């Protein structure tokens, strides 16, 4: 039931104990990001570091950076002032770069984190369409844009220096995907939380999109699906505390690994990094925790974290 298809076909559905959809994720272009009303703080650059975390509050414009190493150990790095408010999407890449986007205005900007977790603003971008609902990174710096209402899509590239390049528009995506998750190995998982439908695809390092297959058997109701390490996936339901793990290899082949019980309910953010670390955060209480996913999709809890501020709206992992 894993029929391969060409890149103009549509994704479909499956589950890892609970995760899946069908239809192809594809659509139009528009990712030429426009100028941000932003004053992103600049810091010295070093090499990209897998394991960086970027925190942002869309209401206040406050920001911060931290690191999460391969063992799941968390370390705060610095606070950042001067961000514009209102960014709706912030996407981190495995190459160390960040894309900022405002879905209402079409404004955009790029930045990067060095290997010590220091933040550096790169540039504003003009020309983005408004209305993108999902922007995800796969491979080292390839980006997929998707509009869940229209089914339009597009791809772009964001290199390690934070330079943005549009690649192509994509047509034929189904509407209604609620989650799209990219992996550092280059694969993409599509999921519809209402129907349980799922599908896989991949983005190569040049930003070229290829549909792989539908997946059947996903449960409905997953609220979070995150990638960590090269292709490991963590599924979580914030209402029930149920969890599961799976693997998505570099060719876009999906494999369920295991279910997980015992999660607290109410985590608002779960962020994975390419180092394998996973951060859990509750924006209302400021509670946090760390874990790790190895390259085989095995989950291990590491520790709780105290002292996180409340109110972070975005946490991007690199």
* Rounded percentage of the chain residues whose pLDDT exceeds 70: 84
Answer yes or no: is pLDDT of 9 > 60. Answer: no
Are 186 and 204 contacting, i.e. CB atoms less than 8 angstroms apart?
yes
pLDDT top residue among 60 and 9: 60
In 46-74, which positions are buried (b, 16+ CB within 10 angstroms) versus exposed (e)? eebbbbbbbbbbbeebbbbbbbbbbebeb
- pTM here is 0.86
pLDDT of residue 207: 97
pLDDT of residue 6: 31
pLDDT digits (tens, 9 = 90+) for 256-299: 999 999 999 999 999 999 999 999 999 999 999 999 999 999 99
Taken in order of first residue, the domains within the chain and their CATH numbers are 52-317 (2.130.10.10)
**Cα–Cα distances in Å, from 208 out to 46, 166, 187, 225?**
28, 11, 11, 23
Q: What mean pLDDT, rounded, does the chain reach?
A: 86
pLDDT of residue 127: 87
pLDDT of residue 26: 28
- Joined together, the tokens standing for residue 155 give 């791809």
Q: What is the mean pLDDT of residues 133-151?
A: 97
pLDDT of residue 14: 31
Are 130 and 104 contacting, i.e. CB atoms less than 8 angstroms apart?
yes
pLDDT digits (tens, 9 = 90+) for 91-113: 999 999 999 999 999 999 999 99
Q: What is the mean pLDDT of residues 178-204?
A: 97
Are 278 and 266 contacting, i.e. CB atoms less than 8 angstroms apart?
no
pLDDT of residue 216: 84
CA distance 288 to 184: 24
The model's confidence at residue 80, banded by pLDDT at 50, 70 and 90, is: very high
Q: What is the mean pLDDT of residues 300-317?
A: 97
The model's confidence at residue 126, banded by pLDDT at 50, 70 and 90, is: confident
* Rounded percentage of the chain residues whose pLDDT exceeds 90: 81
Least confident span in 1-10, 50-59, 122-131: 1-10
CA-based nearest residue to 272, from 245, 249, 253, 250: 245
pLDDT of residue 128: 95
pLDDT digits (tens, 9 = 90+) for 22-35: 223 322 333 323 22
pLDDT of residue 37: 31
DSSP 250-279: TT--EEEEEEE--PPS---EEEE-TTSEEE
pLDDT of residue 28: 30
pLDDT of residue 93: 96
pLDDT of residue 136: 98
């Amino acid at each position: 039931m894993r029929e391969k298809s060409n890149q103009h076909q549509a994704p479909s559905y499956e589950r890892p104990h609970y995760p899946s959809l069908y239809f192809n994720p594809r659509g139009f272009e528009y990712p030429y990001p426009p100028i941000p009303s932003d004053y992103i703080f600049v810091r010295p650059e070093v090499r990209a570091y897998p394991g960086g975390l970027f925190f942002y509050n869309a209401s206040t414009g406050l920001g911060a950076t931290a690191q999460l190493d391969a063992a799941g150990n968390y370390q705060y790095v610095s606070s950042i002032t001067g961000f514009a408010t209102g960014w709706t999407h912030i996407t981190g890449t495995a190459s160390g770069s960040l894309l900022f986007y405002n879905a209402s205005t079409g404004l955009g900007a790029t930045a990067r984190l060095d290997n010590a977790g220091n933040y550096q603003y790169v540039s504003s971008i003009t020309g983005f369409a408004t209305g993108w609902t999902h922007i995800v990174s796969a491979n080292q710096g390839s980006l997929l844009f998707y509009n869940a209402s229209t089914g339009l899509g597009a791809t772009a590239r964001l290199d390690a220096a934070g330079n943005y390049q549009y690649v192509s528009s994509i047509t034929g995506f189904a509407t209604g995907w609620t989650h799209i998750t990219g992996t550092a190995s280059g694969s993409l998982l599509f999921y519809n939380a209402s129907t349980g439908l799922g599908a896989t695809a991949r983005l190569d390092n040049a930003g070229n999109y290829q549909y792989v297959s539908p997946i059947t058997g996903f449960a409905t109701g997953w609220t979070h699906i995150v990638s960590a390490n090269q292709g490991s996936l963590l599924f979580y339901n914030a209402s029930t505390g149920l969890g599961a793990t799976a693997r998505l290899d570099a060719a876009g082949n999906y494999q369920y690994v295991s279910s997980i019980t015992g999660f607290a309910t109410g985590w608002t953010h779960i962020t994975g990094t390419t180092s394998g670390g996973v951060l859990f955060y509750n924006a209302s209480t400021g509670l946090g925790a760390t874990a790790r996913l190895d390259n085989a999709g095995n989950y291990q809890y590491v520790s709780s974290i105290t002292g996180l501020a409340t109110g972070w709206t975005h946490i991007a992992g690199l």
